[in-house]
Amino acid sequence: MTKQALNQVGNTPFTSAVLASLYPETRQINDKARRMEQEGHIIRLKRGLYVRSSDDGATIIPMLIANHIYGPSYVSMHTALRHYGLIPERVYETQSMTIKHSRSFDTPIGRFSYHSCPPNYFPLGIRQESQGNDTYIIASPEKALCDLILKTPGLATTSVKSLNGWLAEDLRFDMDAINHFDVALLEQCGKQAPVKNNIITLLTRLVLL
């Protein structure tokens, strides 16, 4: 009965209220949730938010989970760049951008970090991607790199050459992919990110070389 009820939520994180709707005969839903967690049916992500366990047949999709833990948000920076195959290193947390305060959450699935950005900048260059029947929001390659530039402390490159060095040597970025970047999107991001506008402008010049 438990697995049959949870099949209705699939791989998407769900709240205590959703759990209560699946088990309308249960009065103490928090006690029910604790038992289900102990039995390995669900995983607690934060207070009042859960996801089905892989032991219960679910597919754990960190990027889908990231969208639900704290929002509005979209997956970005190293996580998105790795997803697109633009950097070689493994990423050990799921990074996102948000218009709310920066926060991080440590869960049994891993660490999820959220980095604040200006509201007008937030919606630029984001897209929906699907894994099976599930859909999540993620930055485009251009936006993910702009986000990383925006949030990298101490990054103060002043020339196309130094920016190229940071990308190629520090990030080990796929420099061939730069040639296919959307210049118009980079210009939009630069206008809405005044703190690092000069570096995003350098990135635009690098794309045009």
pLDDT tens, residue by residue, 72-128: 999 999 999 999 999 999 999 999 999 999 999 999 999 999 999 999 999 999 999
Answer for the pair 97, 74: CB distance below 8 angstroms, yes or no: yes
Between residues 26 and 165, the one the model is more confident about:
165
State percent of the chain over pLDDT 70: 99
Do 44 and 122 lie in a common domain?
Answer: no
Do 188 and 96 lie in a common domain?
Answer: yes
Domain assignment of residue 106, given as a range: 62-208
Q: How high is the pLDDT of residue 187?
A: 95
Do 34 and 101 lie in a common domain?
Answer: no
Do 94 and 190 lie in a common domain?
Answer: yes
Q: Where do we find the tokens 């509005």? A: 72
**pLDDT at residue 134 above 90?**
yes
Does residue 4 belong to any structural domain of this protein?
A: no
Mean pLDDT of 1-7: 71
Do 43 and 120 lie in a common domain?
Answer: no
Boundary of a domain, candidates 22, 40, 56: 56
pLDDT tens digits for 40-54? 999 999 999 999 998
Do 73 and 171 lie in a common domain?
Answer: yes
Domain count, the chain: 2
